[in-house]
Amino acid sequence: DDGKQLSNHFTLSAPPAGSQWPHGLGSAQVRQEVALLRPLAVPYRLLLGPGPSNLSPRVRAAGSQQIVGHMHPEVLQVMEEIKAGIQYAFQTRNRITLAVSGTGHCAMEAALINLLESSDTVLVGNNGIWGERAADVARRLGAKVHELLKPPGEYFTLRDIQEVCATCGAPGLSPTQVLTVLFSPRAWHSTNPQWGCGAELWSPSRHGCLLLVDAVASLGGVPILMDQQGIDVLYTGSQKVLSAPPGISPISFSERAREKMQRRKTRPPSFYLDMSCLASYWGCDGEPRMYHHTGPVSSIFCLREALAGLAELGLESSWKQHQAVCTRLCQGLQDLGLELFVKEEAARLPTVTTVRVPEGYNWKEITAFLMDKHSIEISGGLGPTAGKVLRIGLMGHNATQDNVDRLLQALRDALQHCQHSRL
């Protein structure tokens, strides 16, 4: 009985008269769903979770533009501007600087899939779900994975890295097989302050490995200087500080990373994310551009406007702004009697603040109350912190003092209405 396998979407009925299909096939069996024939209705929400952020007005305008062909000179010019915008935002002069046609996770995969071969060893700094993801992807690629584990809220020190590098460089492994993947912590949102001067204190090149940094939740909100910090691969998302829709992700590869990719003995198991093809399509290799895939034109327009907004504001102003609203938020949260998850002040990421769920409260009730009564989104934890924390993002267009005050007032309201065991 076919009917049993159906989801409940369909209104099944006899085929309409005159609906004989060509080639001797039967008639249409699957009908239009009623809900799809209603108008699209999107409610307004203030998005103060860990992302996506609300779109800025200029990004919304770009999203409503009529598109042109993805290889038109006007789109190629916009792609050039995006490359320059990423180079500015990343503070890099890397030639291979472009945007992959996917989300932040896709950019992570693009990095690993191009850098790793099955013979390679990779060290993954795992202090949260994104480290787990990177280790998962590296294992799928057949690489030998070493994990540097840290509890949520903690970060990696130079000593940690040095110790594990020594282990990885053990018999049978040449140093160049070691690739250090270090994540700017996304899920727990503590920065790795000692890594701010990584290039001076610890040099990946001296250790014969590459340094990969995930800056999805941090780029534009906290100082990251790719070239000066000796970062070999850096990527970010569009939907955090950049305040653009998710779906297109900036990425950049150093000269050393490019050389490692050129030395590959096998091709990456993806054509979509093959960086040699993408570099050609984005005009990064000085050769005529080769068609690769149909660029997501609307997303390209939106990303251009987001990068232009950051360039107009200036990186340093953006960092200051994020630090200021984060400081105001942390003070307000503590005034409400809440406990910040990351103990060390210098280790807190200004873009996303993680706070413990207060005793006697259910995190889901708090987030639901904020949504229902105040149209504000904040999030619970993810992976190992699920159920334990609330995550509050103030990024890009949303990083304003007004939003801090609005959120604190809503949280005060929630704490009054949602308490359970305290009753």
Would you count residue 22 as binding a second copy (CB under 8 A)?
Answer: yes
Burial class (CB in 10 A: 0-12, 13-18, 19+), 34: exposed
Total binding residues for a second copy by CB under 8 A? 117
The CA-based angle 268-271-276, given to 5 degrees, is 70
Q: Which stretch binds a second copy (CB under 8 A): 16-24, 158-166, 179-187, 332-340?
A: 16-24
Would you count residue 197 as binding a second copy (CB under 8 A)?
Answer: yes
Contacts of a second copy in 73-92 (CB under 8 A): 74, 77-78, 80-81, 83-85, 87-88, 91-92
Pick 32 or 334: Cβ nearer a second copy: 32
Would you count residue 177 as binding a second copy (CB under 8 A)?
Answer: no
Q: How far is the CB of 294 from a second copy (least distance, A)?
A: 4
Pick 360 or 387: Cβ nearer a second copy: 387
Closest-CA residue to 115 (of 254, 2, 321): 254
Angle formed by the axes of helices 104-115 and 255-262, nearest 10°: 60
Pick 34 or 166: Cβ nearer a second copy: 34
Q: How far is the CB of 54 from a second copy (least distance, A)?
A: 6
Q: How many residues does the chain have?
A: 423
Q: Which stretch binds a second copy (CB under 8 A): 102-110, 145-153, 175-183, 413-421?
A: 102-110
Would you count residue 403 as binding a second copy (CB under 8 A)?
Answer: no
Integer Cα distance of 394 and 391 in angstroms: 10
Contacts of a second copy in 317-376 (CB under 8 A): none
Neighbouring CB atoms inside 10 A of 285's CB total: 15
Contacts of a second copy in 43-72 (CB under 8 A): 43-45, 47, 49, 51-52, 54-55, 60-70, 72
Name the token pair of 249: 């992700």
Integer Cα distance of 397 and 386 in angstroms: 27
133 is in an annotated binding site: no
Integer Cα distance of 160 and 125 in angstroms: 10
Q: How far is the CB of 161 from a second copy (least distance, A)?
A: 16
| DSSP code for 296 | -
Integer Cα distance of 35 and 63 in angstroms: 25
User: Residues annotated as binding site for substrate?
Assistant: 391
